[in-house]
Amino acid sequence: MNDFGNKWILVGSLVVVFTITLIFSYGPGYGGGLYSFLSSNAGIYPEMSPSDIVTPMVTLKKVVTSRSVTNVTTVSPVVSSSIYSNYGASIYSSYSPSPITSLHPSVSPRISTMTPTPRVSPTVSPATPIPVVTPTPSPETLVETTSPTVIPEPETPTSTPTPTPVVISVGDIVINEIAWMGTGNTSKLSNDEWMELYNTTDQTIDLTGWTLNSLTGTSPDPQINLAHSIQPFGFYILERTDDNTIPGIIANQIYTGSLIDSGENLELKDSSGLLIDSVHSEGSWFGGDKASRSSMERIDPYKPGNDLTNWGTNNGINKNGLNAEGGLINGTPGQPNSIRVP
């Protein structure tokens, strides 16, 4: 055929295709016969519901959170292959080029939510101890704070020590000095008599219960009850009537009675009545001077008091203390005797 014939054939084919397209696209207004034909044969192609085209594919997924589990149902639409089965596949494809987009299935996906499964704590048997994890400090932060453990020593029960009783022997305490003439020439000073005891030991001796008495029987003879202690190698001063006999020296004890100028027999006894020392000079004192008011002093305290040769008179050089009128006393109250042998 020539080119002119071919063009008419092409034009005719296009017209036919256009006409058919109008008929199937716009209904009986443009192609009533064919549309009626198709309608009368609709039983051959049964009407399809959305469920025939889209089959919901349900996939159960578990969404796990920290504390609960939720079941989420997802729907994936799948095009059923039935629309393409048999001889209707070609017509359907011509009638609806895009079956997926032209259909609007009203399938609502069913989402079910499971009640969260209660969390169950693992059961721990009472017999199984729960391990305790102690964090180990890093070497950089490890500081040794161990303190030395001090173990207290057992307490030793303390008891009050019982004082060792002092054993008194003859000569431990002696009559050391006697001012039988007083401290001065006035009537007042002539009555200011005093005596002195001396401890020859290195122990303190309690004189409580001891006595120093005159045995001459001339009233009023001194009858003295001692009541204080005397220190080791110490002196004990006794003053007559009051403590103003030797104002600068405090008396250890005050006594009453007087010593006669012709001499006295004096005895010193301890609390048990043991005679510790004595000076038997009745009729004449072993020493001392009334004119100078100088005291009678013991030469050696470790020799007997009844030994005449163991006594003498203050030398007038070594003196101690003042009398009530402020004059010097010719004696050594509270100090070693002026004629003592070392």
Q: Model-level pTM?
A: 0.55
State the Cα–Cα distance between residues 267 and 198, nearest whole angstrom. 14
Upper half-sphere CA count for residue 202 (Cβ side, 13 Å): 0
- Helices 3-26 and 28-40, interaxial angle, to 10°? 70
Q: Which two tokens stand for residue 17?
A: 């295709």
Contacts of 287 by beta carbon, 8 Å cutoff, 6+ apart:
296, 297, 311, 312, 313
State the Cα–Cα distance between residues 253 and 243, nearest whole angstrom. 9
What is residue 205's predicted lDDT score, i.e. its pLDDT? 98
**Whether residue 200 sits in one domain with residue 107:** no
**Whether residue 303 sits in one domain with residue 188:** yes
Task: Give the CATH number of the domain where residue 255 resides.
Answer: 2.60.40.1260
Q: Structural domain tally of the chain? A: 2
**Whether residue 189 sits in one domain with residue 60:** no
What is residue 152's predicted lDDT score, i.e. its pLDDT? 63
In a domain? residue 240 = yes
Which domain covers residue 294, as residue numbers? 173-313
State the Cα–Cα distance between residues 259 and 261, nearest whole angstrom. 7
Angle at 19 between CA 14 and CA 20, to 5 degrees: 100
What is residue 90's predicted lDDT score, i.e. its pLDDT? 41
Reduced to 3 states, what is the DSSP secondary structure of residue 189? Answer: helix
In a domain? residue 107 = yes
**Whether residue 178 sits in one domain with residue 303:** yes
Q: How many residues does the chain have?
A: 342
What is residue 148's predicted lDDT score, i.e. its pLDDT? 56
**Whether residue 110 sits in one domain with residue 182:** no
Identify whether the C-beta of residue 50 lies closer than 8 Å to the C-beta of residue 105.
Answer: yes
**Whether residue 304 sits in one domain with residue 216:** yes
Upper half-sphere CA count for residue 30 (Cβ side, 13 Å): 10
**Whether residue 203 sits in one domain with residue 105:** no
In a domain? residue 326 = no
**Whether residue 232 sits in one domain with residue 107:** no
State the Cα–Cα distance between residues 11 and 65, nearest whole angstrom. 68
- Strands (DSSP E) found in the chain: 54-64, 69-79, 173-179, 194-199, 205-206, 211-214, 223-225, 229-230, 235-240, 253-255, 265-269, 275-280, 296-298, 311-313
**Whether residue 79 sits in one domain with residue 178:** no
Mean pLDDT by 10 residues, the chain (342 residues): 72 79 57 52 48 44 44 43 41 42 44 47 48 51 52 66 82 98 93 97 98 90 95 98 94 96 96 97 96 97 97 97 95 97 86
Reduced to 3 states, what is the DSSP secondary structure of residue 21? Answer: helix
What is residue 342's predicted lDDT score, i.e. its pLDDT? 80
CB atoms within 10 A of CB 174: 23
Identify whether the C-beta of residue 199 lies closer than 8 Å to the C-beta of residue 171.
Answer: no
Contacts of 54 by beta carbon, 8 Å cutoff, 6+ apart:
77, 78, 79, 80, 103, 105, 107
- Strands (DSSP E) found in 80-210: 173-179, 194-199, 205-206
Contacts of 176 by beta carbon, 8 Å cutoff, 6+ apart:
196, 197, 198, 235, 297, 298, 301, 337
**Whether residue 288 sits in one domain with residue 190:** yes
Of 191, 264, 268, residue with least CA distance to 236: 268
In a domain? residue 59 = yes
